[in-house]
A and B are shown apart, each in its own frame.
Chain A
Amino acid sequence: MDRHRPALTLARRVSLSAAAVFFAVFFLWPISTVIARGVFVDGALDLSPLTKLLSNSGLRRIIVFTFLQASISTLGALVLGVPGAYAFSRIAFRGRAAVLAILTLPFVLPTVVVGSAFVALLGENGPLGGLHLNGSLAAIVLAQICFNYAVVVRSVGSQWAHIDHSAVNASRTLGAGPARTWLRVTLPSIKSSIVSSALIVFLFCFTSFGLILILGGPRTSTIETEIYRATMQSLDLRTAAALSILQILVVGGVILGGMRFGRVDGRSPRWRPSQTGLLKLNNKRALALTLNLLVVALLVGAPLGVLVVRSFTDSGGLGLSWYRSLGQLGSTGLAETPLKALSNSLTFAAVATLIAVPLGLIIALAVTVKSGRSRSARVMEGAVMLPLGVSAVTLGLGYLLTLDTPPLDLRTSWWLIPIAQAIVATPFVVRIAVPIIASTDQRLRDAAALLGARPSRVWRSVDLPVIRSAIATGAGFAFAISLGEFGATAFIVRPDTTTLPIAIYRLLGRPGEANFGAAMASAVLLMGATAAILLLLDRDSLGSRS
Chain B
Amino acid sequence: MTLSLRNLSVSYGDVVAISGVDLEIKQGTTLTVLGASGSGKSTLLRAVAGLEPSCGEILWGDESLHRLPTHRRGVGFVFQDHALFPQRNVLENVRFGLETPRYNRIDAAKRASALLDRVGLAGFEERHTHELSGGELQRVALARALAPAPRVLLLDEPYGALDRELRERLMLDVREILHESGVTVIHVTHDHDEAFALGEQVAILDAGRISQCAPPSEVWANPCDLRTARFLGHTSSLHAKRISAGSSSELNLATALGDFAIPHENGNTHGSFDAEYWVTWRPESLRAVSLRAEPQKGETQKGETPRQSERTSLRISGTTIECLFRHGEYLLSLETAAGRVEGISTESVSRGQRLDLDLNLSEVHAYVS
Contact with B along A432-448 (1 / 0, CB 8 A): 00000000010110111
Contacting pair A447 B83 (CB below 8 A): yes
A546 CB-CB contact with B under 8 Å? yes
A452 is contacted by which of B49, B71, B128 (Cβ under 8 Å)? B71
Contact B96 A444 (CB under 8 A): no
Q: How far is the CA of A446 from the CA of B69 in the complex (A)?
A: 11
Tell me the nearest residue of chain B to A448, going by C-beta.
Answer: B96
Contact in complex: B148, A451 (CB < 8 Å): yes
Complex Cα distance A444/B86, Å?
A: 9
| B272 within 8 Å of A (CB atoms) | no
* Residues on the B chain within 8 Å of A454, using CB: 71
- Number of chain A residues whose Cβ lies closer than 8 Å to a Cβ of chain B: 20
Q: Does chain A have a CB within 8 A of B196? A: no
A346 smallest CB distance to B (angstroms): 32
Q: A449 an interface residue at 8 Å Cβ cutoff?
A: yes
Contacts A450-B76, A454-B71 hold; do A461 and B85 have CB atoms under 8 A apart?
A: yes
* Cβ B69 vs Cβ A444 within 8 A: no
Q: Which residues of B contact A458 (CB under 8 A)?
A: 71
Cα–Cα distance between A525 and B84 once the two chains are bound (Å): 45
| Interface flag for B336 (CB, 8 Å) | no
Complex partner residue of A447 from B50, B69, B85, B128, CB under 8 angstroms: B85
Question: How far, in angstroms, from A455 to B69 measured CA to CA in the complex?
Answer: 10
A448 CB contacts on chain B under 8 angstroms: 71, 85, 96
Chain A residue numbers with a CB within 8 Å of B79 are 443, 446-447
- A142 close to B (CB within 8 Å): no
**0/1 per residue, B50-92, Cβ < 8 Å to A?**
1100000000000000000111101111010001111100000
In the assembled complex, A453 has its CB within 8 A of some CB on chain B: yes
Given contacts A452-B97, A465-B87, contact A446 B128 (CB under 8 A): no
Are B100 and A446 in contact (CB-based, < 8 A)?
Answer: no
Interface presence of B144 (CB below 8 A): yes
Residues of A near B72 (CB, < 8 A) are 452
> B89-141: which residues lie under 8 A (CB-CB) from chain A?
96-97, 100, 128
B155 is an interface residue with CB less than 8 A from chain A: no
Q: A444-B83, A447-B79, A451-B144 are in contact. Are A461 and B70 (CB under 8 A)?
A: no
Contact in complex: B96, A446 (CB < 8 Å): no
B47 at the A interface (CB under 8 A): no
| B145 at the binding interface (Cβ < 8 Å) | yes
User: B94 — nearest CB in chain A belongs to which residue?
Assistant: A451
Cross-chain pair count, CB within 8 angstroms: 64
| B83 with A443: CB separation less than 8 A | yes
Residues of A within 8 A of B148 (CB): 451-452
Q: Closest residue of chain A to B97, judged by CB? A: A451
Distance in Å from the Cβ of A449 to the closest Cβ of chain B? Answer: 4
Which single member of A441, A451, A455 contacts B96 (CB below 8 Å)? A451
Cβ of A176 under 8 Å from chain B: no
User: Cβ of A462 < 8 Å from any Cβ of B?
Assistant: yes
A1 at the interface (CB under 8 A from B): yes
How distant is A106 from chain B, measured CB to nearest CB, in Å? 33
* Contact between chains at B70 and A446 (CB < 8 Å): yes
- A468 to nearest B CB, angstroms? 11
> Is the Cβ of A450 less than 8 Å from the Cβ of B75?
yes
**Closest chain B CB from A413 CB (angstroms):** 43
Other-chain contact of A446, B51, B74, B87, B144 (Cβ < 8 Å): B51
CA of A455 to CA of B74, assembled, Å: 15
Expressed in whole angstroms, the Cα–Cα distance for A450 and B151 within the complex equals 12
Most chain-B CB neighbours within 10 Å: which of A441, A446, A448, A452?
Answer: A452
Q: Say whether A449 contacts B76, CB under 8 Å.
A: no
Q: In the complex the two chains form, what is the Cα distance from A449 to B96 in whole Å?
A: 10
Selected from A441, A452, A544, the residue in CB contact (under 8 A) with B83 is A441
How far in angstroms is the closest Cβ of chain B from A129?
53
State the Cβ distance, A110 to closest chain B Cβ, in Å.
Answer: 34
Q: Are B85 and A449 in contact (CB under 8 A)?
A: no
Which residues of B sit under 8 angstroms from A461, Cβ to Cβ? Answer: 85, 96
Name which residue of chain A comes closest to B71, CB basis. A449
Task: Establish whether residues A1 and B69, one from each chain, have CB atoms under 8 Å apart when the complex forms.
Answer: yes
Bound state CA distance, A443 and B72, in angstroms? 17
Partner of B71, one of A444, A450, A462, A465: A450
Name, among B71, B75, B97, B100, the residue most crowded by chain A CB atoms within 10 Å (CB to CB). B71
The chain B residue sitting closest to A450, CB to CB, is: B77
Contact A462 B85 (CB under 8 A): yes
Evaluate contact between A452 and B100: CB separation under 8 angstroms. Answer: yes
Distance A451 CA – B86 CA, assembled complex (angstroms): 16
A450 to chain B, nearest CB (A): 4
A373 to chain B, nearest CB (A): 16
Contact in complex: B87, A450 (CB < 8 Å)? no
A449 to B76, CA, bound (A): 10
In the bound complex, residues from chain B placing their C-beta under 8 Å from that of A465 are: 87
Q: Contact: A444 with B85, CB < 8 Å? A: yes
* B residues near A441, Cβ cutoff 8 Å: 83
Return A167 CB to nearest CB of chain B, in Å: 25
Nearest-neighbour CB distance to chain A for B51, whole angstroms, equals 5
Distance, CA A375 to CA B316, complexed state (A): 67
The distance from the CB of B215 to the nearest CB of chain A, in whole angstroms, is: 29
CA distance A462 to B77 in the complex (A): 17
CB distance from A470 to the nearest CB of B (A): 14
Task: Give the distance in Å from the alpha carbon of A453 to the alpha carbon of B71 in the complex.
Answer: 6
In the complex, which residues of chain B have a beta carbon less than 8 angstroms from the beta carbon of A452? 71-72, 74, 97, 100, 148
User: Which B-chain residue is minimally distant from A1 (CB atoms)?
Assistant: B69
Q: Are A446 and B71 touching (Cβ within 8 A)? A: no
Within 8 Å CB of B51, what residues of A?
446, 449-450
Residues in A with CB closer than 8 Å to B75 are 450
With A and B bound together, what is the CA distance between A544 and B79 in angstroms? 24
Nearest Cβ on chain B to A68's Cβ, whole angstroms: 49
A446–B85 Cα distance when bound, in Å, is: 11
Nearest Cβ distance between residue A84 and chain B, in whole angstroms? 30
Q: Is the CB of A450 within 8 A of B49?
A: yes
Do A449 and B87 contact each other (CB < 8 Å), given the known contacts A443-B79, A461-B96, A546-B128? no
Nearest CB in chain A: distance from B85 CB, A: 6
Smallest Cβ-Cβ distance to B74: which chain A residue = A452
A sample of 10 cross-chain residue pairs with beta-carbon separation below 8 angstroms, ordered by A number, consists of A444-B85, A446-B83, A448-B85, A449-B71, A450-B49, A450-B76, A451-B144, A452-B71, A452-B72, A452-B74
Q: Which 7 A-B pairs rank lowest in CB-CB distance, beginning with the nearest?
A: A451-B97, A449-B70, A443-B83, A450-B77, A447-B83, A449-B71, A452-B71
Binding site for A on B (CB under 8 A): 49-51, 69-72, 74-77, 79, 83-87, 96-97, 100, 128, 144-145, 147-148
11 more contacts with CB within 8 A, not counting A449-B51, A452-B71, are: A1-B70, A444-B83, A446-B77, A448-B96, A450-B75, A450-B145, A451-B97, A452-B97, A452-B100, A458-B71, A462-B85
